Chain A
């Protein structure tokens, strides 16, 4: 269906208008202007903020600059989570642009992973893809690929090249004709209110009788509090890429069409706004 391909493009090209402001306690030689940028939902903060770093370093002295890190309303932002996930989880029901504070000092060692180079991002990205394929295909598809195919996935993401990425990624979205889907669905469910960073478990897309499991089935199994209405009213939203998919959506379809480039469905459970 042509509509399905459109979904892939819409997911890939999603953007979040963001305003970066330097933390007020950073030492500058002159006033630092905020920096505006459209962030790709599917990428990672440290992969797409070179210009942000350069902009603020221009008004700072070399010795005041250490590893960059980002924070939103006091919460350090985990660069190893896709940008779209961070936004949905922390700021989806607030006014745009997304206001992120930039830090160059006092790296929060207890909260954030270090990101000393692009290689670290690549290693993390590829580790996620490999884990996703372990779940979908017992690692058979990813292991059959050559190193250059792995590289192409990373380059596609890094350079924002949809066709280049999907030329390889489509193989990770296939399954044997005798099956009706993947072995298990790669997914993670996030809630800002829990100490546990995410919920992940084994979940089959096809029931033993052959029916397709839905998003609702997945939530009931992995995070029942997300959908059980309290006082007859749904207090939370289930969000993927900034939208609330219908709970009846087959999870196999969601996995094929709304996964992030790391091949995981990153699902946010957030408080429903009370207008």
Chain B
């Protein structure tokens, strides 16, 4: 039974559909070298999208990063490491560089029939970052988004496949905003990858960005027939 789009009904994402969208998403990611991969669990064959990246973080966060246009906003998500200070500049200024490993996983919630974003960050020595520390490097304007977004909170939860603590963006109102946007895109016969749409909205709030080329991602011909 495929997703129903009639009238007021929510756009319900089935797990099979979710996997298909993820497959298309990973294909595009591979084309542009964006680092996403699909991980299948050995025991039950379910899986999740995964991306790991390393960021050099300057503890001393530079003041007001100017708001640039969207393309450059990607670079602005994290405070940049400045050029190493020479001795004359270094006096009185204390900053430490550290390499932080960020991990993002997209899992499917069968209970809510929506994707859920799990994330965590740690230093190279394994010390996990607290939510405050992760927040500290997200640009202020994205922090403000959290207040208005279709999610309730970020909490620490157990990863349902790995069993380890991750931070999670609550999926409670995902359906609301996704349904509204997808209804619009269907009416204009624009083919939208659910994952692209969803991740481009929730991702930046937690320091994850999608290059704009994902927007051109169209599901393959065979997918469209289900949606009609």
Decide: A112 and B160 in contact? CB cutoff 8 A.
no
Proximity string of chain B (118-152) to chain A, C-beta cutoff 8 Å, 1 when within and 0 when not: 00000000111000000000000000000000000
Decide: B158 and A78 in contact? CB cutoff 8 A.
yes
Q: Using A112-B165, A134-B111, A135-B111 as known contacts, say yes or no to A197 and B160 having CB atoms under 8 A apart.
A: yes
Q: Does B41 have its Cβ within 8 Å of any Cβ on chain A?
A: yes
Contacts of B162 in A (CB 8 A): 195
Contacts of A111 in B (CB 8 A): 164-165
Decide: B111 and A196 in contact? CB cutoff 8 A.
no
Decide: B158 and A110 in contact? CB cutoff 8 A.
no
Decide: B165 and A113 in contact? CB cutoff 8 A.
yes
Interface residues of A in 179-210 (CB under 8 A from B): 186, 194-202
Interface size class of B (residues with CB under 8 A): 20 to 34
Q: Does A131 have its Cβ within 8 Å of any Cβ on chain B?
A: yes
Interface residues of A in 32-80 (CB under 8 A from B): 78, 80
Proximity string of chain B (152-165) to chain A, C-beta cutoff 8 Å, 1 when within and 0 when not: 01011111111111
Q: Using A194-B43, A199-B44, A202-B110 as known contacts, say yes or no to A113 and B157 having CB atoms under 8 A apart.
A: yes
Interface size class of A (residues with CB under 8 A): 20 to 34
Min C-beta distance of B172 to chain A, whole Å: 8
**Nearest-CB residue, chain B, relative to A199:** B44
Decide: B110 and A195 in contact? CB cutoff 8 A.
no
Decide: A109 and B165 in contact? CB cutoff 8 A.
yes
A78 to B128, CA, bound (A): 18
**Nearest-CB residue, chain B, relative to A225:** B43
Decide: A196 and B163 in contact? CB cutoff 8 A.
yes
A80 to B153, CA, bound (A): 18
Q: Does A114 have its Cβ within 8 Å of any Cβ on chain B?
A: yes
Interface residues of B in 35-82 (CB under 8 A from A): 41, 43-44
Q: Does B177 have its Cβ within 8 Å of any Cβ on chain A?
A: no
Min C-beta distance of A145 to chain B, whole Å: 15
**Nearest-CB residue, chain B, relative to A132:** B111
Contacts of B127 in A (CB 8 A): 109
Binding site for B on A (CB under 8 A): 78, 80, 109-114, 120, 123-124, 127, 130-131, 134-135, 186, 194-202
